[in-house]
Amino acid sequence: MSITSVPHSPAAATVRPVRAVFAGIPTSDGAGVKLTRIIGQEALPDLDPFLLLDEFGSEDRAAYVAGFPDHPHRGFETVTYMLAGRMRHRDNQGNSGLLTAGSVQWMTAGRGIVHSEMPEQEEGLMQGFQLWVNLPASEKMTAPRYQDIAPERVPEVAVEGGVVRVLAGRFGTAEGPVAGVSVDPTYLDVALVAGASFRTEIPSGHSAFVYAFEGGVRVGAGAESRRIESGELAVLGSGDTVAARADDGPGRFIFVAGRPLGEPVARYGPIVMNTRAELAQAFDDLRNGTF
């Protein structure tokens, strides 16, 4: 069984090998929300243009109920993908939105937003991901904007051996609802039954990773393939094709890719600029009420 986005010529396709594998580390953020940090840890501080990847998931209300009270962002984008639960977003501009299971929010912080992300549930499973995507220097001071995407707007491609949800980019003839993002992202949620395989093409210059979160999956092709288990991220090497297979049982993973910016990064907490002077200015703006 296979899942393939477009017809491939095996002689022409170059399958990306696994360059490195990283395990997520437990940590907490916000008002004590327990999560797993995959990108943004000491071993994997970033993967241009991706600055952070957190996975959250618990049925213990104490692990999430305090949420993420008001905090600032400038210079990048946050992508929240909910698998289960309900999260309310509010900001200092009066914007508000509710994230439910299967929904996506792509928030461009631009020149500055102060916002909160708070659970709208007292019990049950809260699960999802937050990804940080860097903005190019030319867009760091752009006006903030939101793409709030309801679950029914995310295409689901049912294919032999699994289902692919297309959050951003393309898979076959399906196109994700996220639009107008500088790094030309691909963001897929792929669920495979045992024995099923996945294959898709991406631009050869894009950074790319696979993160398994249910079961394991074998990434790559032939002797160069490598199995990753739930909670592990595979950074992919060069090539124009991504291949994965659920060999020993069902597996589910996110596949994310994007165009690297190749720009200097000055970063402190929730502010990401290009120079230390810009970083200092951002915190001056916060202190002065001009953020």
pLDDT digits (tens, 9 = 90+) for 222-254: 888 999 999 999 999 999 999 999 998 999 999
Cα separation, 190 vs 200, in Å, equals 11
Residue 181 lies in a domain: yes
Residue 213 lies in a domain: yes
Q: How many domains does the chain have?
A: 1
Measured CA distances, 81 to 15, 106, 287 (Å): 27, 9, 31
Neighbouring-strand partners of residue 145: 108
Beta-strand relationship, 217-219 and 266-268: unpaired
Average pLDDT, stretch 31-49?
96
Residue 289 lies in a domain: no
Q: Show the domain range for 38.
A: 2-262
CB atoms within 10 A of CB 224: 12
Residue 128 lies in a domain: yes
Residue 209 lies in a domain: yes
Cis peptide before 49 (omega within 30 of 0): yes
**For the chain, what is the mean pLDDT?**
93
Residue 212 lies in a domain: yes
Domain CATH for 181: 2.60.120.10
Residue 286 lies in a domain: no
- For residue range 150-198, what is the model confidence (pLDDT) as tens digits? 999 999 998 889 999 999 999 999 999 999 999 999 999 999 999 999 9
Contact indicator for 173, 7 with CB cutoff of 8 Å: no
Residue 56: its pLDDT value, please? Answer: 96
On the 0-12 / 13-18 / 19+ scale of CB atoms within 10 A, 158 is exposed
Residue 290: its pLDDT value, please? Answer: 81
Residue 101 lies in a domain: yes
Average pLDDT, stretch 134-148?
96
Contacts of 280 by beta carbon, 8 Å cutoff, 6+ apart: none
